Amino acid sequence: MNILVTGGAGFIGSAVVRHILRNTTHTVVNVDALTYAGNLDSLAETVHSERYCFEHHNICDRAAMDTVLNVHQPDLIMHLAAESHVDRSIDGPAEFIGTNIVGTYTLLEATRQYYNNLNGDKKAGFRFHHISTDEVYGDLEGTTDLFTETTPYAPSSPYSASKASSDHLIRAWHRTYGLPVVISNCSNNYGPYHFPEKLIPLMILNALEGKPLPVYGQGEQVRDWLYVEDHARALYKVVTEGHVGETYNIGGHNEKRNIDVVHTLCDLLEQLAPAKPKGVNHYRDLITHVTDRPGHDQRYAIDASKIQQQLGWVPQETFETGLCKTVQWYLNNTDWCQRIANGSYQRERLGASA
């Protein structure tokens, strides 16, 4: 099959591309605008693959989307392209509205036209998979409640509101136009190639440089953590085996307070990187509590029983094994981190995508 992945140079998208190329015989077409979080370094292993093609386009560009669909004739579309950082959405929500809502609408309309022109088995097997987040559900007040696929939406940030909007568009295009869609909502991802603005890579890299480890408030916020390669396996399951019109929650069964995540990272670094920066006695000494961000959700937790029961997916990594792999990856891939820090990954992107 030809699988079109939007946002395939991002953190989760690149994991999906690598998973498909490593574990199947399918062809992947990666459509990515290469914004700040898009990094072709994360796809270095695809350079010589005859089953991979990169298209440098923005999903808001209807003409480009029409051309990509008509040229590559995908059997499946996996839509991951999105602005995804909550803090950035608070500082500048316009880009989130543009990419996550208008971009999704534009892609849906291009896909609808493409789908209506398909015939036979090609049309019968076509799927549009929209990848979303558990943040659309808002937060949980209790300590034992879980998000299910029928939990009402109550987004708290411009980011989660824009993703909730895109979810509603997907469902509307299914019901009104008959577009065969599936949706998945995931918990917090972590793992290799994670852009350093996010919690886990930020803490690792700051600690290694002896910089403060900023923790919002007292760090009591609870998140369910999902190793990105487990997520990639789940997404492939959903797009190839999921039932049309259904939603699947994907979680790692790893609820942790933010402060406990940071403590665990510090303890791992004590073992794996004992040669600390000058002036640092213990990595935990770098923890700094900062003013909490506006509208910060307190707890997320996913009930992932549906995808387990219907599609047979369960995460392979525990939080401890996944986090250890993640820390070790960052220690072993300082060049990747350095290219982000000095901006060279962006300066070279146009040449790399030509």
Q: What is the CA angle 7-203-225, rounded to 5?
A: 60
Q: Give Cβ neighbours of residue 32 (< 8 Å, ≥ 6 apart).
A: 6, 7, 8, 9, 10, 13, 38, 54, 55, 56, 57, 81
Rounded to an integer, what distance in angstroms lies between the CA atom of residue 326 and that of residue 328?
5
Q: How far apart are CA 127 and CA 133, in angstroms?
A: 19
- Residues with Cβ within 8 Å of 176's Cβ and at least 6 positions away in sequence, in order, are none
Q: Which of 32, 55, 83, 134 is flagged as catalytic?
A: 134
- Evaluate whether 258 touches 215 at the Cβ level (below 8 Å): yes
Strand pairing partners for 302? 147
Q: Is 135 a catalytic residue?
A: yes
Whole-number Å distance between alpha carbons of 344 and 337: 10
Which pair of tokens denotes residue 285?
């000494």
Distance (Å, rounded) from C-alpha 131 to C-alpha 111?
Answer: 16
> Active-site residue among 105, 137, 159, 236?
159
H/E element holding 308? helix 305-311
* Phi–psi pair at 156, nearest 5 degrees: -110, -25
Active-site entry in 32, 55, 83, 135: 135
Q: Which of 192, 279, 269 is closest to 228 using CA atoms? A: 192
Q: How many CB atoms lie within 10 A of CB 71?
A: 11
159 part of the active site? yes
Active site residue 114: no
Catalytic residues: 134-135, 159
